[in-house]
């Protein structure tokens, strides 16, 4: 976001900061929902390819503005697929663990995104 602050149009940096704050809240919500079904992300085993991928996205987001925006656009375009995939994975995890999925936080989190947040993002992030 710091790199986009160099753009003449400050609305870009303002929107990215708003989105980052929203995503940070979602991360805390998702972490708690995972704890509710018995999964503690702080106790996970690192999967190096994911760590490397996220590090590379971070590098791109900190680079010059067009690369930062391109990296963010690419991650946002995959968001609906990501939530659809995790929706199904978590449904299975809950089922196998005998944990109610319907009415739970993890389902509410995915419903929030699939029925609203990501649909709005999809239209807001369309190419010019």
More confident position, 38 or 125: 38
- Looking at the predicted structure, is the pLDDT value of residue 20 above 80? no
| pLDDT at 2 (0 to 100) | 72
Per-residue pLDDT tens for 27-73? 788 788 888 778 888 888 888 998 998 899 889 888 888 888 888 77
Which residues does 128 contact at the CB level (< 8 Å), separation at least 6? none
- Looking at the predicted structure, is the pLDDT value of residue 113 above 60? yes
Average pLDDT of the residues in 79-86: 78
Residue of 80, 60, 81, 82 lying closest to 72 (CA atoms)? 60
Over pLDDT 70: what percentage of the chain?
Answer: 88
Coil vs helix vs strand at 125:
coil
Number of Cβ within 10 Å of residue 6's Cβ equals 11
Coil vs helix vs strand at 63:
coil
Q: Supply the pTM of this predicted model.
A: 0.57
| Structural domain range at position 99 | 3-124
Query: 38's torsion region: left (phi>0), alpha (psi -120 to 50) or beta?
Result: left
- How much helix, strand and coil, in percent to the nearest 5, is found in the chain? 80, 0, 20
Give the single-character DSSP code of 44: P
| pLDDT at 52 (0 to 100) | 94
| pLDDT at 55 (0 to 100) | 92
Domain count, the chain: 1
Per-residue pLDDT band for 128 (boundaries 50, 70, 90) equals very low
């Amino acid at each position: 976001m710091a790199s986009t602050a160099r753009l003449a149009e400050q609305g870009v940096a303002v929107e990215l900061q708003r989105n980052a704050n929203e995503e940070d809240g979602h991360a805390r919500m998702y972490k708690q929902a995972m704890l509710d079904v018995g999964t503690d992300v702080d106790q996970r085993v690192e999967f190096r390819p994911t760590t490397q991928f996220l590090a590379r996205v971070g590098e791109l987001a900190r680079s010059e503005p067009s690369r930062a925006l391109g990296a963010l656009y690419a991650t946002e375009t995959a968001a609906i697929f990501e939530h659809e995939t995790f929706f199904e994975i978590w449904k299975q995890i809950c089922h196998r663990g005998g944990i109610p999925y319907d009415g739970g936080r993890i389902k509410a989190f995915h419903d929030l995104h699939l029925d609203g947040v990501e649909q709005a993002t999809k239209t807001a992030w369309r190419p010019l």
